[in-house]
Structure 1
Amino acid sequence: MYPLPGSSYRGPAPRYAELRQTRPVVKVRTAGGVDAWLVTRYQDVRELSADPRLSRALACGEGAPRIGGTMHTTPEMIISLDSPEHSRLRKLVAGAFTMRRIERMRDNVQKVCDELLDGIKARGGTADLVQEFAVPLPLTVIGELLGVPSEDLRTFEKWARAFATVDERAGGKESLDGLAKLSEYIVGLIAEKRANPTDDMLSELIAARDNDDRLSEQELVTFGFTLIGAGFDTTANQLANSVLALLVDARDKWQWLREDHSRIPVAVEELLRHVNLFATDTSGFPRIAAEDIEVGGVTIRKGDAVLLALASANRDEAVFTDPDRLDLAREHNPHISFGHGLHYCLGKHLGRMELVIAIEGLVSRFPDLRLAVPESELPWHVGEINHTLTSLPVVWGD
């Protein structure tokens, strides 16, 4: 029995490369003391992500094994459901995240980004890019999309980040407290929008509930905190970690990106592949086999827990040339950082757009941006499901 290998924001532990070659599907002991199958090769991870025999609902229901190191979810959350329930709920919000609708948001995202960066530059030659940029950018964008009043965003950010935090030493209490506060807030926000509907996604979902009876009241509340929580925390972490990777591992490419902004979308895809977001090196969402599955030369039995190692899949040498190198000009890059199959990330277009606009803004305004402290002194949140920087101090100028 193997312990679950570790990882860093730079990627999975070297042990994963050995597993891909010798034992691509292997039993591991998780942080919660539960045995699970760890799947490490790209093709296997991709196929199993879309395999209906692997159930999220079984992993989230009453009596499900507590694997540890994974986000607390409730059975009615969309990330906890299988089809057909998942498909019904996804259709209700999918229209808000189409490429066309996200493109209509571009000017507003650009405006938010410009205002944040203008403020940073005006305040002088030092800044904390986590607190002053990486968090408020996606938080403001998702808040406007869903209709959260601007004066509530910072309080909401604290609760949503607590919800995304899992600290096993405290029994997950902080995460559960954040979930309770988010639920309470959303109930109040729904009541306000019922009385005074506006042009936002939450008002549209309320109409779907009240007029068409397509949502239960609990589903409506759950949708609210799920979309807001997921809509900013992951993007904030990805942005902060990507900027860190650029400043530490690809600082010679900063000017190269500044000279030609058309290179940035390709660079963002490579950052999405290369920068490992999940602290457990899985998707953060375990699955349970609903029936026996043959994969990688082994049989996963009905009832077994399964972890899909996305970061390992994104480093598979059978798919990616020189996979451990951060290649900002990489042309063939079919990464699966947004997942695959039923639970493929709804917000992928919005997340990509925010990352591109944010990096364009940084390289344009700060040609000599650099870390203000040694990388070893940067503070990370230990209990987070994601590799989360709590601060990213930078300087520019003389």
Structure 2
Amino acid sequence: MIEDTATRPLLGPPPVRHWPALDIAGTEFDPVLAELMREGPVSRVQLPHGEGWAWLVTRYDDVKAVTNDPRFTRAPVVDRQVTRLAPHFKPKRGSLAFADQPEHNRLRSAVAPAFTLRGVELLRSRAQDTLNEMVDELLADGPPADLTARILEPFPIAVVSEVMGVPAADRERMSAWTRQIVSSSGGAEASARAKDGMYGWFAEAIRSRYGSTEEDVISLLGAAVGRGDISEEEAIGLVGPLQIGGEAVTANTGQMLFLLLTRPGLLERLRAEPDVRPRAIDELLRYIPHRTAVGLARIAQEDVEIHGVRISAGDAVYVSYLAANRDPEVFPDPERIDFDRTPNPHVAFGHGPHYCMGGLLARMQTELLIDTLVDRLPGLRLAVPPQEVPWRRSTLIRGPEALPVAW
């Protein structure tokens, strides 16, 4: 917990632990993160790239406190080579991910209409139709099939592209750029080329929609730039991460289905008890190791004490939502998947001002995918032994590279 530094003696800093980029197959929890959690609530880590070390906060209450505390800010990270997982670091100025208040609210308001509960629910019927068409084709072709290639990748691309306003003819190119950006395997040059291609495309699209009254994201941004509410640079910085968000749905649902297919009792319960599915999705979101290591750092703007450890002004600080979701003080028996867990206040979509803007959209897509695949593919099973399912390597977002199934 965050305390007044005068209330208790300060402890010495913990040792700096090297945290390598692990390629973990399956849904195993990162063993280095598990060790750090056992060692204490506040650690110091050095990731494979960048400079120096950073603090790591893992307890649920502390993660929520740091992410909602204006003394820990994102904007200064843009100008620093904070120790990090990715070999390349080229943030776009104006990016919502690196904005602090009040700039964060100003930027977020430009695209918020596309991500309201009402807006997402209006999209649900069209998204279901799109998914039904994909499943119809899958059934017509028959088993076996790669569920990732046939459903889990193209469906989120189609949905997020509709929300963004990306024409169908450009969606495959957008998907290729996205895959390269979230992978670290191609190095800095390949990632930079992909970012330049994506952001160049968005720049032209935004310029073409000044004065638009449509409610897709590109039109909203074009209109906002046209009114002078935000700059073109800010609009481009906003749009890329929103487009990339569809990749997370592919990886997350891939992990969920792998878990269900390797624990048939869980899958059978979803078939037999449809009413349990909303709780089940929350529990799966809590449980899956969504990403490799940690995401974006924050910088302390003044000295802050957490659990007797002084974090000095200027220090980099990471939080781990994965660790927070396994905190036994909040989630009893956290290693067990419990569809009856209630309450389940997981932080899979983040917390505080940087709570995932696309969280409602991601949740809606996840619900449609789980419901449709469970109901329409009776006898769904892996077509290969679990150990032969290939997993993404050298990537920031964890998930199966392919999911071979039969039914």
TM-score (norm 1): 0.91
How far does residue 15 in structure 1 lie from its aligned partner after superposition?
A: 5.3
Q: Percent identity between the aligned chains?
A: 35
Separation in 1, partners of 2:370, 2:303: 45
Deviations 1:270-322 (A, max 9, x none): 11000011111x2x111121221111220111121111111111001100011
How far does residue 350 in structure 1 lie from its aligned partner after superposition?
A: 1.1
Alignment correspondent of 1:162: 180
Please, which moves more after superposition, 193-202 or 122-131? 193-202
Separation in 2, partners of 1:196, 1:40: 44
Mapped pair 1:236 → 2:216: no
Closer, same or farther: CA 95–314 of 1 in aligned 2, 3 Å: same
Separation in 1, partners of 2:213, 2:177: 24
Q: Which amino acid aligns with 1:238?
A: N
Q: Which amino acid aligns with 2:102?
A: P
Q: Which amino acid aligns with 2:65?
A: E
Matches within 5 A, 1:263-342: 263-280=276-293, 282=294, 284-342=295-353
Closer, same or farther: CA 207–328 of 1 in aligned 2, 3 Å: same
Instruction: Give the conservation status (yes or no) of the 8 Å contact 1:240–1:392.
Output: yes
Instruction: Give the conservation status (yes or no) of the 8 Å contact 2:41–2:307.
Output: yes
For the aligned residues, what is the CA RMSD?
2.1
How far does residue 259 in structure 1 lie from its aligned partner after superposition?
A: 2.3
Please, which moves more after superposition, 102-111 or 218-227? 218-227
Q: Which amino acid aligns with 1:290?
A: Q
Separation in 2, partners of 1:362, 1:325: 24
Instruction: Give the conservation status (yes or no) of the 8 Å contact 1:70–1:285.
Output: no
Mapped pair 1:370 → 2:393: no
1:26 counterpart (24, 43, 47): 43
Please, which moves more after superposition, 20-29 or 346-355? 20-29
Please, which moves more after superposition, 43-52 or 190-199? 190-199
Runs (5+) with no aligned partner, structure 1:
none
Alignment correspondent of 1:69: 86
What SS does the corresponding residue of 1:64 show, helix, strand or coil? Answer: coil
Q: Which amino acid aligns with 2:111?
A: V
What SS does the corresponding residue of 1:389 show, helix, strand or coil? Answer: coil
TM-score (norm 2): 0.90
Alignment correspondent of 2:66: 48
1:190 counterpart (174, 183, 206): 206
Mapped pair 1:2 → 2:17: yes
Instruction: Give the conservation status (yes or no) of the 8 Å contact 1:53–1:289.
Output: yes
Q: Which amino acid aligns with 1:240?
A: G
How far does residue 265 in structure 1 lie from its aligned partner after superposition?
A: 1.1
Instruction: Give the conservation status (yes or no) of the 8 Å contact 1:38–1:307.
Output: yes
How far does residue 48 in structure 1 lie from its aligned partner after superposition?
A: 0.6
Alignment correspondent of 1:227: 242
Runs (5+) with no aligned partner, structure 2:
1-15
Closer, same or farther: CA 380–22 of 1 in aligned 2, 3 Å: closer
Separation in 2, partners of 1:287, 1:196: 36
Q: Which amino acid aligns with 2:362?
A: G
Alignment correspondent of 2:134: 116
Please, which moves more after superposition, 381-390 or 318-327? 381-390
Q: Which amino acid aligns with 1:214?
A: D
Mapped pair 1:382 → 2:393: yes
What SS does the corresponding residue of 2:250 show, helix, strand or coil? Answer: helix
Q: Which amino acid aligns with 1:132?
A: R
2:102 counterpart (84, 98, 105): 84
How far does residue 198 in structure 1 lie from its aligned partner after superposition?
A: 4.9
Alignment correspondent of 2:144: 126
